[in-house]
């Protein structure tokens, strides 16, 4: 590979692109290309999430090498993440009222993110059109972009990230997603049936007395079940089994060890990436409220009951109790409650525009996806022209990391044939 050139761009943009008088924030994007490709077409990478920064370098995701041979790559730190003005515990100190903090969070959804990218396209890169490559939630952002600025996009690659555009109930969406979580738990218990006894002992101890963590948070029984987040990754069933291999202080199995408690607490990104917790359900809110839809579904299904003979692990599911158990989420508790009840969201998607889409889209759908339901993805593909999907029966949601060069090269080849 030729010499890699890196250009960093930190730009001031409106906090609210639809009302620029509300102030500004900074958005960061890293432009990467091979020497000689200074004027090549651009692929903007849209990270999964919400609330996660882009990879720090092209080398950190082998899939990018496929693009760098011919294109410039832009690694966007979506607003609120990375080297963009980030949202963290420090953010709360700037707001004296929970209502104002909640309002601030509302400016960090996909409708504002696509306006940031459009600003970069027009003002910084001065490109007539750009390509998008999107993972998971990044795919949701791509469809927002296609709704708002279709004329600015030359083509789109989506990996595990087609939004459920035909669903008008967040609770219905989570009903399907929690059923998928149940299926994966059944696979886990079938493969490792002996873990049932160990898990019951852990839950019993935590129900009796949560483990107090050094930061003031608590490893409760519910927080322990959040470890189920990893079941959706490649090899996730084995990973969870291995994490549970040695949870106790000694062979008597009467107390959880600090090592296990700390490891369990560190398996999620809710505290380091608070947008992920506070705004997660809002990614499904197209002018509707979420009302803690994930929690309602979890608590309505016997498989997730703490009194069940085989309690199932949770998935990508946000619950009100998290803002008590996780110490660094406590400052957002009231804001999260306000956001969960908010019904007057602006539109993230314009179906009238998407149903007459002319931009070629190549999307990889994972048949056993733990986080983005494949049936919703197929249903969406039926109403959007130029959206071509490939359904893979075995790959998991993180396959852009585990099989990146292979799946990106294949999707890119298909896309270019259609342009």
Residue with tokens 């929970």: 98
User: Is 136 tagged catalytic?
Assistant: yes
Contact of 138 with 45, CB cutoff 8 Å = yes
- Per 3-state DSSP, the chain is made up of helix, strand and coil in percentages (nearest 5) of 45, 15, 40
Q: Which residue has the tokens 């998991």?
A: 396
Contact 163, 387 (CB under 8 A): no
Q: Which of 383, 327, 404, 341 is nearest to 135 (CA)?
A: 404
Query: Active-site residue 9, yes or no?
Result: no
Measured from the Cβ of residue 261, the count of other Cβ atoms closer than 10 Å reads: 21
E strands along 148-226, which residues?
Answer: 153-159, 211-212, 218-219
> Is 195 considered catalytic here?
no
Catalytic, out of 77, 85, 280, 397: 397
* Residue from 136, 142, 381, 399 carrying the catalytic annotation: 136
Rounded Cα distance, 91 and 96, in Å: 11
Name the phi and psi angles at 8, rounded to 5: -100, 140
Candidate list 94, 245, 344, 352, residue with the active-site label: 344
CA distance 397 to 409: 17
What are the start-end ranges of the E strands in 102-201? 130-135, 153-159
Could you give the residue numbers annotated as active site? 136, 344, 397
């Amino acid at each position: 590979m030729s010499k890699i050139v890196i250009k960093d761009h930190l730009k001031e943009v409106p906090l609210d692109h639809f009302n620029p008088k509300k102030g500004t924030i900074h958005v960061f994007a890293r432009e990467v290309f091979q020497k000689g490709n200074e004027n090549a077409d651009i692929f903007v990478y849209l990270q999964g999430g919400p609330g996660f920064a882009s990879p720090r370098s092209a080398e950190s995701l082998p899939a990018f090498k496929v693009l760098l041979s011919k294109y410039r790559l832009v690694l966007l730190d979506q607003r609120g993440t990375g080297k963009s003005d980030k949202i963290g515990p420090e953010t709360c100190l700037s707001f004296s009222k929970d209502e104002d903090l909640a309002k601030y969070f509302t400016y960090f959804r996909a409708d504002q993110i696509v306006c940031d990218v459009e600003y970069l396209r027009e003002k910084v890169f001065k490109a007539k059109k750009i390509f998008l490559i999107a993972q998971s939630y990044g795919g949701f952002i791509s469809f927002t972009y296609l709704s708002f600025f279709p004329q600015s996009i030359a083509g789109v690659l989506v990996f595990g990230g087609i939004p459920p555009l035909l669903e008008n109930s967040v609770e219905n969406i989570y009903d399907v997603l929690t059923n998928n979580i149940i299926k994966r738990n059944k696979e886990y218990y079938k493969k490792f049936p002996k873990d049932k006894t160990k898990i019951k002992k852990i839950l019993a101890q935590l129900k009796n007395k949560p483990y107090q963590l050094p930061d003031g948070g608590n490893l409760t029984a519910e927080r322990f079940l959040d470890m189920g987040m990893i079941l959706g990754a490649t090899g996730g069933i084995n990973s969870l089994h291995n994490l549970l291999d040695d949870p106790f202080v000694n062979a008597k199995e009467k107390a959880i060890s600090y090592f296990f408690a700390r490891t369990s607490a560190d398996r999620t990104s809710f505290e380091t990436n608070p947008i992920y917790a506070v705004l997660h359900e809002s990614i499904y809110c197209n002018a509707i409220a979420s009302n803690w839809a994930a929690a309602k579904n979890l608590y309505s299904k016997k498989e997730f009951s703490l009194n069940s003979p085989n309690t199932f692990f949770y998935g990508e599911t946000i619950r009100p109790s998290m803002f008590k158990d996780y110490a660094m989420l406590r400052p957002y508790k009231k804001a999260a409650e306000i956001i969960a009840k908010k019904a007057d969201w602006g539109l993230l998607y314009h179906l009238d525009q998407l149903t007459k889409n002319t931009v070629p889209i190549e999307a990889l759908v994972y048949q056993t996806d733990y986080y983005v339901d494949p049936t919703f993805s197929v249903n969406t593909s039926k109403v959007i022209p130029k959206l071509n999907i490939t359904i893979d029966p075995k790959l998991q949601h993180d396959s852009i990391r585990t099989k990146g060069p292979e799946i990106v090269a294949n999707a890119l080849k298909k896309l270019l044939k259609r342009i």
